[in-house]
């Protein structure tokens, strides 16, 4: 069998076709009432960034519904909560401000996509609005919206993402600590059970004490 590699837009369109007119026209240059309502209900989003060299990264962001602030029809603000201190997304934004956001609402099978330009800011008024349990974020991501559109439910329907019957038991895989320790260990020096227990306990304590 022959493998076909598509390296031009013309070849790709010839194979897959063109979008319907409505699929093109639905992309809005600003946030309308439905985009705003979707973001205000969303407790989870994925943030896509890339470095100046084009190396891509997607990072999860989650909090209580409405954690991403809609400042106006053109501007969003995403608080930066404590994480693993890699700061892949933030460093990418410094190099390349173009970002893509994908918003989810539990129970909604459709999604919202937002593309725009981001900058890292510390603005006291916004920090105070994003405080949780008296803890303010140290920095945030301000996004100037360039494009926003609702995305159909096919991917979520195929994945059965919100279907309780499709849930998997977490015990099918080892704990996060065990997997990371084994991934980073020398081939001849697997982590001891005591080390795995200690790292798992550290992770759980981190969840309890440094979510904000």
**Residues 153, 186: one domain?**
no
Residue 5 lies in a domain: no
**Residues 174, 154: one domain?**
no
**Residues 150, 74: one domain?**
yes
**Residues 87, 144: one domain?**
yes
Residue 64 lies in a domain: yes
Looking at residue 1, its pLDDT comes to 87
Looking at residue 104, its pLDDT comes to 98
**Residues 33, 81: one domain?**
yes
**Residues 98, 148: one domain?**
yes
Cβ atoms 86, 92 nearer than 8 A: no
**Residues 176, 137: one domain?**
no
**Residues 113, 179: one domain?**
no
Q: Structural domain of residue 201, as residue ranges?
A: 168-209
For the chain of 212 residues, list the mean pLDDT of each consecutive stretch of 10.
95 94 94 98 98 96 97 98 95 98 98 98 97 96 98 97 97 97 94 97 95 93
**Residues 179, 137: one domain?**
no
Place of tokens 């992770």: 203
Looking at residue 101, its pLDDT comes to 98
**Residues 48, 121: one domain?**
yes
**Residues 36, 112: one domain?**
yes
Task: Calculate the alpha carbon distances from 92 to 5, 151, 156 in Å.
Answer: 29, 25, 28
Q: What is the CATH number of the domain that holds 130?
A: 2.30.110.10
Residue 87 lies in a domain: yes
pTM, two decimal places? 0.94
Q: How many domains does the chain have?
A: 2
**Residues 142, 87: one domain?**
yes
């Amino acid at each position: 069998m022959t493998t076909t590699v598509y390296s031009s837009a013309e070849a790709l369109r010839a194979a897959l076709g063109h979008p319907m007119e409505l699929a093109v026209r639905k992309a809005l240059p600003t946030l309308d009432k439905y985009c705003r309502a979707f973001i205000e209900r969303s407790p989870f989003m994925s943030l896509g960034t890339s470095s100046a060299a084009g190396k891509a990264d997607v990072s999860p962001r989650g909090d209580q519904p409405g954690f991403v602030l809609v400042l106006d029809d053109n501007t969003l603000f995403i608080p930066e909560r404590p994480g693993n201190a890699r700061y892949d997304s933030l460093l990418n934004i410094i190099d390349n401000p173009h970002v893509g956001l994908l918003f989810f609402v539990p129970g909604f099978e459709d999604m919202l996509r937002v593309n725009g330009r981001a900058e890292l800011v510390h603005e006291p008024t916004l920090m105070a609005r994003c405080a949780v349990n008296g803890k303010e974020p140290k920095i945030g991501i301000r996004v100037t919206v360039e494009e926003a559109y609702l995305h159909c439910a096919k991917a979520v329907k195929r994945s059965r993402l919100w279907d309780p019957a499709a849930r998997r038991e977490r015990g099918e895989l080892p704990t996060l600590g065990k997997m990371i320790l084994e991934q980073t260990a020398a081939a001849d020096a697997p982590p001891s059970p005591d080390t795995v227990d200690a790292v798992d306990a550290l992770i759980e304590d981190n969840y309890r004490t440094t979510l904000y």
